[in-house]
Amino acid sequence: MKDRFPGIAEATRLIKAGEASPTDLVRAAAERIAGIDGELNCFIGFDADAALAAAKVAEKEIAAGGARGALHGVPVALKDLFAVSGMPLTCGSRILENFVPGYDSGVAERLRRAGAVIIGKNNMDEFAMGSSNETSYFGAVKNPWDTARVPGGSSGGCAAAVAAEMCCGAVGTDTGGSIRQPAAFCGVVGMKPTYGRVSRFGMVAFASSLDQAGPLARSVEDAAILLGAISGFDEKDSTSRDTPAPDLLAELNGGVRGLKIAAPREYFNIGGMDGEVENCVREALKDMESLGAEIVDVSMPNTGYAVSAYYVIAPCEASSNLARYDGVRYGRRAGDAQSLEEMIVKSRSEGFGEEVKRRIMLGTHALSSGYYDAYYLKAQKVKTLITEEFYAAFEKADLIMTPTAPEAAFKLGEKTGDPIKMYLSDALTIPANIAGVPAISVPCGLTKSGLPIGAQIIGRRFDEQTVIRAARALESTGRFDGLRPAGI
């Protein structure tokens, strides 16, 4: 711990060897947060005393000879849309400014079971709607590699906190790319598991058929440990998969020899693709080939329709999910209203930001009588076509490898005036959400101006092991070894 705040595997090793206690780790995290988070703004909620108290409990358990699980005593952070009993939950929104849940989400419960110390809640785009973390009511998050740039979104607070070493790992959510894109922008590993792998219970819903929680971490191994801890069936989530979670570490170093990897051209020639990003990922593909993978030719012509389908499906589901924030049941209630209707209108008008309102209006319009068939039903049909295209691709290949995002981190304010430009930032990540398949982003190089580039590896449904194995192989080529934000 002398030179560097540890990641998950390293923290566990330090604790087991008696070289650092959970309290030491939480203290170190608190110091880092106090030192740099004023500038980066990665945390909405951080209570050092509560975190230290949780660390002390973990420490006593170790002294008594028992560790709860794979994350015992390890400080992790959660995107501020997971319910953690007694901790404020804002979802990056004014409307939930003062909301404190009285129960644990499935993710928080599993983290506790694994022994993790939940140190705080990460900043995020409001209701997870965004690609830059600029829609948060609590202010933008800055990218630790260049504070004039965005960290990506919507789990930008998680990605920046992990990159800036303020926690050992974090759990975010990904509806259209919100784990992978910020992971790519901040030079960390981020994985969206198969839909149904991780419980959505107690996670604020954005688009329920697409939302999935997953890890952001410093290495593929760390991501695998964290994902292993939060995976598994939850009877409180009807879409959670009723099969035991696989042992993600068992094949970690199994390599890619004999695996077939597709690099569909539709993921490389989309508009706005930056040449440096494309070249870097193509070189990473060559590395995979030299490790024994076979690169196969697969075409996925429906890829280009994913963004359009997503921006119907996600706003439709959001408009329905967000109907519950009415100033009565949850959150902030506007004052001085003369009638119930006025109170609801005022509470929602004051409580939601511009992007959230835009999505609610888009979704309400697309679901309204006469438009449902033209938009929502059509988008669902496109979803089926895209999903089938993935299944067909996985007949020919074991994995698909692409850039995670068309470009590296952009400047703060660069896309806020143009929602469509912002939406296209997720063009390469959205298809995996539409098809429900697992996908990871692994850092694979830097641009000339020193910004991280991420490669995305997509796998078959519930085949997280192979995705993680390939991600580890890519990481082991050393393309990103020793790279970290300057001054951190």
Binding site for ligand GLN (CB under 6 A): 128-131, 154, 174-178, 206, 314, 426
How many C-beta atoms lie closer than 10 Å to residue 323's C-beta? 11
Catalytic residue among 79, 121, 192, 415: 79
Tokens at residue 289, please?
A: 């080939």
Is 85 a catalytic site residue? Answer: no
Task: Catalytic residue, from 93, 105, 132, 154: name it.
Answer: 154
Distance CA 108, CA 48 (A): 18
Q: Which is nearer to ligand GLN, 46 or 206 (CB)?
A: 206
Query: What distance in Å separates the CA atoms of residue 135 and residue 271, rounded to the nearest whole number?
Result: 24
Q: How far is the CB of 77 from ligand GLN (least distance, A)?
A: 17
Three-state DSSP at 436 gives coil
Please state the closest distance from residue 154 (CB atom) to ligand GLN, in A. 4
The nearer residue to ligand GLN, 166 or 427, going by C-beta atoms, is 427
Give least dist CB 216 to ligand GLN, A. Answer: 13
β-sheet bridge partners, residue 455 = 403, 442
Minimum Å gap between C-beta 434 and ligand GLN is 12
For the bound state, the minimum distance from the C-beta of residue 314 to ligand GLN, rounded and expressed in Å, comes to: 5
CA-CA-CA-CA torsion sign (428, 429, 430, 433): positive
Nearer to ligand GLN, 73 or 214 (CB): 214
Q: Tokens for 459?
A: 């796998």
Smallest distance from ligand GLN to CB 260, Å = 28
Kindly state the tokens that stand for 112.
């506790």
Q: Which of 249, 355, 362 is nearest to 316 (CA)?
A: 362
Q: Which of 93, 105, 155, 178 is an active site residue?
A: 178
Nearer to ligand GLN, 106 or 115 (CB): 106
Q: State how far the Cα of 234 lies from the Cα of 238, in Å rounded to an integer.
A: 8
Both tokens assigned to 10: 């390293």
Minimum CB distance to ligand GLN smaller for 112 or for 192: 192
- What is the rounded distance in angstroms from the CA atom of residue 109 to the CA atom of residue 40? 28
Nearer to ligand GLN, 250 or 361 (CB): 361
Are 102 and 128 in contact by the 8 Å Cβ rule? The answer is: no
For 121, phi and psi rounded to 5 degrees?
-120, 130
The least CB distance from residue 441 to ligand GLN, in Å, is: 12
Minimum CB–partner distance for residue 190 and ligand GLN (Å): 11
Check if the beta carbon of residue 79 is closer than 8 Å to that of residue 28.
no
> At residue 264, what is the residue type?
P
Q: Residues with Cβ < 8 Å from 239, sequence gap 6 or more?
A: 195, 196, 200, 208
* 79 is an active site residue: yes
Burial of 334 (0-12, 13-18, 19+ CB in 10 A): middle
How much is the CA Rg of the chain, to the nearest whole Å? 21
Q: Which is nearer to ligand GLN, 108 or 439 (CB)?
A: 439
Instruction: Output 178 or 303, the one with its CB closest to ligand GLN.
Output: 178
* Sheet arrangement for strand 294-296: 43-46, 117-122, 75-79, 169-174, 212-217, 189-192, 439-446, 452-459, 399-403, 260-262, 294-296
Contact 222, 189 (CB under 8 A): yes
Active site residues: 79, 154, 178
